[in-house]
Homo-oligomer: A and B are copies of this chain.
Amino acid sequence: MLSTMQDTPLSIAQLLRHGSTIHGTAEVVTWTDAGARRRSYADVGRRCAQLAHALRGLGVTGDERVGTFMWNNAEHLEAYLAIPSMGAVLHTLNIRLFPEQLVFVANHGEDHAIIVDPTLVPLLNPQLAQMETVKHVIVTGDSADGVDAPEGVQVHAYEQLIADQPTDFDWPDVDERSAAAMCYTSGTTGDPKGVAYSHRSIFMHSMQVCMTDGPALKQGDRALAVVPQFHAMSWGLPYAAFMIGASLIMPDRFLQPEPLAALIAAEKPNFSAAVPTIWQGLHQYLEANPQDISFMKDVLIGGSAVPPSLMHTFEEDHGVQVLHAWGMTETSPLGSVARPPAGTEGEERWRYRYTQGRFPASVQARLVDDLGEVVPNDGNSVGELEVRGPWITGSYYGVDAPEKFQDGWLRTGDVGTITPDGYLTLTDRTKDIIKSGGEWISSVDLENAVMGHPDVIEAAVIGIADAKWDERPLVAVVLREGSDAKVEDLQEFLSDKVAKWQLPENWTVINEVPKTSVGKFDKKRLRSQYTDGDLEVTRI
């Protein structure tokens, strides 16, 4: 029996219409070297129509892809809204990809045009000639100078291109399951793989970002989106903010602690989102340059596990509550959010907050062991996390990857436990688990324990070959400037924090943990450094 409900599709165009009228006075604030520039959502709505007309004029029809090579700013927000609303597909290009990966994704996605920020033109120029389908380069601002356009590629200045276009657009109807935006994962192995979000998945994900068991973004919030728009859709904040009427504060290229602190002081966000390293850096800066940030009530942190010490520091030193979350490009990206159950207090509450949190009703999660069997959610059984739901990818764009899926569930590559009431604790990546004498040692648990030491800024743990135990952990630590801590002190510090047989005997002090293009620990590189003999290892 069919329902009598209307069959209206969920669409970005509806989100754009809603945000630019009902929430027309909300604003997107973009940081510049001369302070903030502001634009109301009503203006964003008009400029989206102009951009869509302009892109049609450049031959963008049907589901053609339009790339963006941009920081977080007002024009990137316009691209987010206008491109899917006109039926085309937004392709966010990660500016931190290696050159050959960047060329690969632009060609694989068959981008017809690329919108680029002036400061990023030099980074794009060397690759342009190899981007085979790109016909237009649009530089944000008033000038298109500086683009080394290959033959057959036209260059435009964004403001001139849209200036004389009509300020309304008859947004077409779309199938809600058609692609709205795509994003390639910056996999450490093989070519990047594309995830194509649908209008439906983005719309529903935006609702979740505004739900009480999610980040609970609300009308009137001032949301600082530090997490890049080229990385997992800035965790869905631009769309969710437009849906709910929260203003967006965009740092553009000013992601270093000092300008970020200035932006925070000037614009007083009450909500923010970024990976741990950003907050780690900001915290160090604030220690040296004290500044009140307590108006920033909630900070969503994900992308990699948040060290408990960082959560305590933010709450106790700065009055800012860290909301730990888990997700990945393939999951839109939320994921689980660590809201403790109502009524929990003190240590119990903290224990819930240290976890990766629990999933909303829309996302199912299960743990699967080495043999492909589902293990119970008993808080002890360890397995690989698999997820399912309307905003979880079920495949990759134009490439088979059967090893990433099982019976329609996405295999996340993350390993951990789930409690009966649904709280996920990740202990490792499947590939980073250290297999020592038939037992598993979590590299992440060790890292967190080491990072609890006051002199340790960062710590990364990898498994290294061991004649007796197959593998044993090697701890690479970055020490605070001026620290005279010895690795023996650090091992001693761990002695009451981890099981005796897990206590690492191999240590190396380094200047910085190598990072991937999105700021995660690059353990692959650390492993190469070790096997190449580039690390000075102390064996205690």
Contacts and interface: CB of A to CB of B under 8 A. Distances in A.
A361 B243 contact: yes
A216 B208 contact: no
A196 B421 contact: no
A361 B4 contact: no
A213 B216 CA distance: 10
Interface string A177-216: 1111000000000000011111011011011101111001
A10 B207 CA distance: 14
B89 A24 contact: no
Contacts of A14: 361-362, 364
Contact of A196 (B5, B63, B396): B5
A416 B198 CA distance: 36
Nearest to A110: B1
Interface string A1-38: 11111111010001101110111110000000000000
A196 B388 contact: no
A97 B495 CA distance: 72
B211 A207 contact: yes
Contact of A421 (B25, B216, B362, B397): B25
B6 A390 contact: yes
Contacts of A362: 10, 14, 203, 207
Contact of A5 (B25, B341, B394, B422): B394
A310 B384 CA distance: 55
A96 to B, nearest CB: 23
A310 to B, nearest CB: 25
A1 B89 contact: yes
Given A22-B358, A361-B243, A388 B8 contact: yes
Contact of A393 (B6, B358, B377): B6
A391 interface: yes
Contacts of A89: 1
Copies in the complex: 2
B5 A197 contact: yes
A4 B396 CA distance: 6
A116 interface: no
Interface in A342-382: 342-343, 358-359, 361-362, 364, 377
A420 interface: yes
A219 interface: yes
B218 A7 contact: no
A391 B362 CA distance: 17
Nearest to A3: B198
Q: Which of A24, A177, A207: most chain B CB closer than 10 A?
A: A207
A244 interface: yes
Contact of A342 (B6, B212, B219): B219
A220 interface: yes
21 contacts: A1-B196, A3-B179, A4-B195, A4-B393, A5-B196, A5-B198, A5-B200, A5-B390, A5-B393, A14-B361, A14-B364, A18-B361, A21-B420, A21-B422, A22-B359, A22-B421, A207-B362, A210-B212, A211-B211, A212-B244, A219-B342
Interface of A: 1-8, 10, 14-15, 17-19, 21-25, 63, 89, 177-180, 194-198, 200-201, 203-204, 206-208, 210-213, 216-221, 243-245, 339, 341-343, 358-359, 361-362, 364, 377, 388-397, 408, 410, 420-422
